[in-house]
Amino acid sequence: MAKGVGTAQACRIVGINRRTGHRWRYGRKSQAGRKADQPPAVRPVPFSGRFLSLDERIVIADLLRAGRGVRSIAAELGRPPSTVSREIKRNAHPGSGDYRPHAAQDRADRRRPRPKTRKITACPELRERVQGMLDDRFSPEQISRRLRRDHPDRPELHVTHETIYQTLYLQGRGELRRELARALRTGRTVRKPHRAPERRQPRFTHPMIMISERPAEAEDRAVPGHWEGDLIIGGGGTSAIGTLVERATRYVMLVHLPARHDAETVRDGLITTIGTLPAHLRQSLTWDQGSEMGRHHEFSVATGTPVYFCDPHSPWQRGSNENTNGLLRQYFPKGSDLSVHSAEDLAAVAAQLNRRPRKTLGWDTPAERLTKLLAQAS
């Protein structure tokens, strides 16, 4: 208070409730008619260990005077070199460039109180530029990168994409027009929290074997018999077709699911389809974590084929299958009813795809490659 700070701000800096601060400042009458005892000497609440302390700043100053480099100082403190470098750059004396630990601590303390005025709010030119780019459907990351590229010498126009997102999602403040949130490609007006991988609930009752445990021979496509699978879904989500692609030959097999595509139906369809293959071509199956594979352990027991699951939101881990699903949409357009196609129709489509020469196979067809493998095995 002696420094001219208001009561509410002083309470926030010290780390106490505002009502407690008023009581300490003015005192209050107790039931016995006496004033409350004056508080003990107020000490600032210690900050988290993620911030540099005064003792660490003193060590930095001493080692700088001794001629030590940033990496050496960081190793001494057990901090990342970037932390030490940033500290020296931010808190060195603006005139002489000397690093003075107590002055540096004061500067850091003055910057720490929250809330702060947002950069986009404080700079009208930056706000107008961001608004204009959002009107042109730029993403926040594109805005951030473009401003840095076009104005490298104007740091007041540099803003991170995270700052733009926070400004858009902050309700009732008016830093950017509220309707601009509609310009985001997600269409969301509030943030969607994402659960950390280690906190996710198990997807299935029976443990999954993740793709990281898949044999190396499947990764380099050196050995045939490793398959990738997925479903293509019809209009309204009421119909589906199972797709299987062999990684080495790109050979396609389609699974007929005429009525439903729940876990039991998919299990039975996969057992029937995979069961037509010889044992040496049933090495593994890679699938995403869709609920249709809830009976994956029963499929593995019936066919002797282990199922490996991709990581969440990682379709590239089944790249051949994703590419094939795109080709299949020529025959089964999105939004159409897939239940009208018979097993014979699916077999004809698969046969046509397997007759197409592929650049990745040296212009062989998948059927030719599979025939060679079967002939060699026999």
Q: What confidence tens digit (pLDDT) does each residue in 310-357 have?
A: 988 889 999 999 999 999 999 999 999 999 999 999 999 999 999 999
Domain assignment of residue 159, yes or no? yes
Residues 300 and 171 grouped into a single domain: no
- Give the relative orientation of helices 140-150 and 124-135 as an angle to the nearest 10 degrees: 130
Domain assignment of residue 35, yes or no? no
What CATH number corresponds to the domain at position 366? 3.30.420.10
Residues 281 and 361 grouped into a single domain: yes
C-alpha span between 165 and 140 (Å, rounded): 7
Residues 299 and 334 grouped into a single domain: yes
- Give the relative orientation of helices 343-354 and 319-328 as an angle to the nearest 10 degrees: 110
Beta partners for residue 253, in sequence order: 244
Domain assignment of residue 21, yes or no? no
Q: For residue 287, is it left (φ>0), alpha (ψ between -120 and 50) or beta?
A: beta
pLDDT tens column, 99-155: 999 989 988 888 887 777 788 888 999 999 998 888 888 888 999 999 999 999 999
Mean pLDDT along residues 204-214? 89
Domain assignment of residue 172, yes or no? yes
Q: What is the total count of domains within the chain?
A: 3
C-alpha span between 332 and 325 (Å, rounded): 10
Residues 338 and 273 grouped into a single domain: yes
Domain assignment of residue 188, yes or no? no
Domain assignment of residue 17, yes or no? no
**Structure confidence at residue 183 (pLDDT):** 65
Domain assignment of residue 1, yes or no? no
Q: What pLDDT band is residue 41 in, cutting at 50, 70 and 90?
A: very low
Is 252 in contact with 284 (CB distance < 8 Å)?
no
Residues 154 and 219 grouped into a single domain: no
Residue 135 lies in domain: 119-183
C-alpha span between 64 and 88 (Å, rounded): 10
Residues 217 and 291 grouped into a single domain: yes
Q: How far is CA 312 from CA 149, 258, 286, 300, in A?
A: 34, 28, 13, 21
Residue 30 has pLDDT above 70, yes or no: no
Structure tokens at 27: 């005192």
Residues 262 and 371 grouped into a single domain: yes
Domain assignment of residue 156, yes or no? yes
Residue 246 has pLDDT above 80, yes or no: yes
Residues 176 and 124 grouped into a single domain: yes
Residues 155 and 177 grouped into a single domain: yes
